[in-house]
Amino acid sequence: MVVDDHPMWREGVERDLTEAGFAVVASAGTGTEALARFPATQPDVVVLDLQIPEPNGVAVTAELVRQNAAVKVLILSASGEQADVLDAVKAGAIGYLVKSASRAELIGAVDRVALGDTVFTPGLAGLVLGEYRRLIDEPAGDSGAPRLTERETEVLRLVAKGLSYKDIAERLVISHRTVQNHVQNTLRKLQLHNRVQLVRYAIEQGLDTPGGD
């Protein structure tokens, strides 16, 4: 499913994906349309713009993942701002491309995301590392905030330097899949931290209910 509020851009992405052999089962121009069409079409991959009429791309990502944890969300946005990237990742997106990406980069990203791989650019790796450092340095403490292992940190640093997963695997003498798993684990931990924050907020506001786990 392709979600973008600019018809010409949306149609161009649909055309590129169709020509590459993907079946575009739905398209939408707003967050509301995307959420309405998702249950009936159940796409494997959603290519989603962040800046769409409400609910925005971050909120849509979170709701799609809540409805179907198997869906793969690839953000295709004009924004490369740190806050936007981190918000999308925390909401459950496993890929993030800026709209300056080439057609080949888009097709490659959809291919990888469809297989469950993470489209992790050097810039995104650097942002995630910075976010973990910020979490660890929070004066309020980080109890409940998941930490990165030494190997996960090492892998992210190498991604941030621009090394490919293949190069990292060769340098660390591990498999390509192991590198991929480390990268995916870092995303899951960041998403988990986001949920931990939400739970803390609910408890602080007296929104928690008894009987939950």
Last residue of a domain, one of 85, 117, 149: 117
Domain-located, residue 110 = yes
14 and 98 in one domain? yes
Last residue of a domain, one of 117, 133, 148: 117
Classify the phi-psi angles of 211: left when phi > 0, otherwise alpha if psi is within -120 to 50, otherwise beta. Answer: left
Residue of 45, 60, 5, 65 lying closest to 29 (CA atoms): 5
pLDDT digits (tens, 9 = 90+) for 127-173: 777 777 777 666 555 556 677 888 888 888 888 777 888 888 999 99
pLDDT value of position 103: 92
Q: How many CB atoms sit inside 10 A of residue 157's CB?
A: 14
For 74, the token pair is: 């690839």
pLDDT value of position 205: 58
* 198 confidence band (pLDDT: 50, 70, 90): low
23 and 107 in one domain? yes
Number of domains in the chain: 2
Q: Is the pLDDT of residue 28 over 80?
A: yes
pLDDT value of position 37: 96
CATH of the domain at 36: 3.40.50.2300
Which distant-in-sequence residues (6+ apart) come within 8 Å of 89 by Cβ? 96, 124, 128, 187, 190, 191
84 or 140, higher pLDDT: 84
For 50, the token pair is: 């962040």
Domain-located, residue 209 = no
pLDDT digits (tens, 9 = 90+) for 99-113: 888 899 999 999 988
For 178, the token pair is: 């192991």
145 and 111 in one domain? no
Domain of residue 148: give its range: 123-204
Cis peptide leading into residue 55 (ω within 30°):
yes
Q: How far apart are CA 27 and CA 36, in angstroms?
A: 11
108 and 153 in one domain? no
pLDDT value of position 157: 84
* 78 confidence band (pLDDT: 50, 70, 90): confident
7 and 112 in one domain? yes
Mean pLDDT computed over every residue of the chain: 83
Domain-located, residue 75 = yes
Domain-located, residue 37 = yes
93 and 9 in one domain? yes
**In one letter, which amino acid is 192?**
L
Query: In the β-sheet with 95-98, what is the strand arrangement from edge to edge?
Result: 27-28, 2-3, 45-48, 72-77, 95-98
**In one letter, which amino acid is 25?**
V
Last residue of a domain, one of 73, 90, 117: 117
pLDDT value of position 41: 95
53 and 7 in one domain? yes
Q: Is the pLDDT of residue 180 over 60?
A: yes
pLDDT digits (tens, 9 = 90+) for 53-74: 989 999 999 999 989 989 999 9
pLDDT value of position 212: 42
